[in-house]
Amino acid sequence: RHLQNTNYSMYVYISYVFYVCIYTKIKSIRLHFIPLLYIPTLTVNSFKSIKLYFYSFTLHSVTNWNAPLVWEGTFDPVVIDDIYKRMDPRVAVVVFAVGKYTRFLKGFLESSEKYFLVDFRVTYYIFTDNEKDVPKIRLGEGRKVSVVTVPSAMRWQDVVLGRMKWATITIDKQIRNEADYLFMMDIDSVFHNHFGAESLSQLSAVLHRGYYKNTNRDKFPYERRPESKAYIPAGEGDYYYTAAVWGGYLEEMYKLVRYCYEQSEEDAKNKIEAVWQEESHLNRYLLYNKPTKVLSPEYLWSDYDQIPSDIKVVRVSQLVKNYAEVRPNGGH
């Protein structure tokens, strides 16, 4: 379904992913076996080929609703990338570089070209109030930049909330005709290692680095005020997800982005702002609409924090910065 409008008009690539989990307890460690990744290549009348891949991984590799939980060592990047390259998906990356945040564009784009879905078709949609500050970066084949002009903002909170508004409008008017998958990402980040097709799914969310070890959901910074549309009652919740990286099928992302925008607007009418803006609305949505893939904090770490032993690789990390200097109204 994510391959509509590709150049392969004579071929239809259909991928069937069957998650067959065999649970075997060995010294209290569960082994999860995920075989049967079929990639049939079809013409109008006949199958050209069917390929079978087998992969297994261990320990905390699925959620309690049986979605994959992706860590280093739980996938073969060569196999997964090869599977998706055969389907030739178009991937949109939406970033906002408003005000002084344009200074982060060069590092983000250059590192993304080195590590993010290399050899895939990627379009960077850069939302900015200063187009002349968008740097010229050498891009790989099939990769391009599209600049979207947005207004300046007086508060960083308005930039954050405005992301949902302008992303909703632009997805509806433009991006949905140009992409099969979409990622929302924070521009003040740099890629450090492979970030490949293992991240792709109907709806992929990233565990927040500050809370992934915390099993007490009442400690999560959910919105706890019932007056807000982002409200999550005490005792409820699965994980706490970051809003700095999330992605999925274009239409699924459109539903989620529009939801965050509309719920934020409802809050504004009631003179309330969710504690962590769109991240609060994102977490409420994902509580009742489970992500189909959960990515470990490897997919968004922070240069502010030391890297613990259970994080084997940092794929993306947020940069240290002077918030008082780069944000229009300061603040963290």
For the annotated catalytic residues, the residue numbers are 279
Q: Is 76 annotated among the ligand-binding residues?
A: no
What dihedral do alpha carbons 117, 72, 23, 202 form, nearest 10°?
A: -30
At 322 the three-state DSSP class reads: coil
Please count the other Cβ atoms lying within 10 Å of the Cβ belonging to residue 171.
23
Q: Is 97 annotated among the ligand-binding residues?
A: yes
Phi, psi of 123 (to 5 degrees): -120, 125
Q: Is 82 annotated among the ligand-binding residues?
A: no
- Token digits of residue 97: 């570089």
Q: Is 186 annotated among the ligand-binding residues?
A: yes
Q: Is 208 annotated among the ligand-binding residues?
A: yes
Q: Is 187 annotated among the ligand-binding residues?
A: yes
What is the C-alpha to C-alpha distance for residues 194 and 174, in angstroms, rounded to an integer? Answer: 29
Q: Is 245 annotated among the ligand-binding residues?
A: no
Q: Is 285 annotated among the ligand-binding residues?
A: no
What is the C-alpha to C-alpha distance for residues 307 and 171, in angstroms, rounded to an integer? Answer: 35
The single-letter DSSP state of residue 330 is -
- Token digits of residue 71: 């860590």
Phi, psi of 324 (to 5 degrees): -60, -25
By residue count, the chain amounts to 332
Asked if 148 and 134 touch (Cβ cutoff 8 Å), the reply is no
Write down the residue that tokens 């003040």 correspond to. 188
- Token digits of residue 186: 């924070």
Q: Is 98 annotated among the ligand-binding residues?
A: yes
What residue type is 241 in one-letter code?
Y
Strand ordering across the sheet containing 189-191: 189-191, 316-318, 301-302
Residues 6+ apart with CB under 8 A from 316: 185, 189, 190, 191, 192, 195, 245, 299, 300, 301
- Residue stretches of the annotated binding site: 96-98, 101, 186-188, 208, 279
- Residue stretches of the annotated binding site for UDP-N-acetyl-alpha-D-galactosamine: 96-98, 101, 186-188
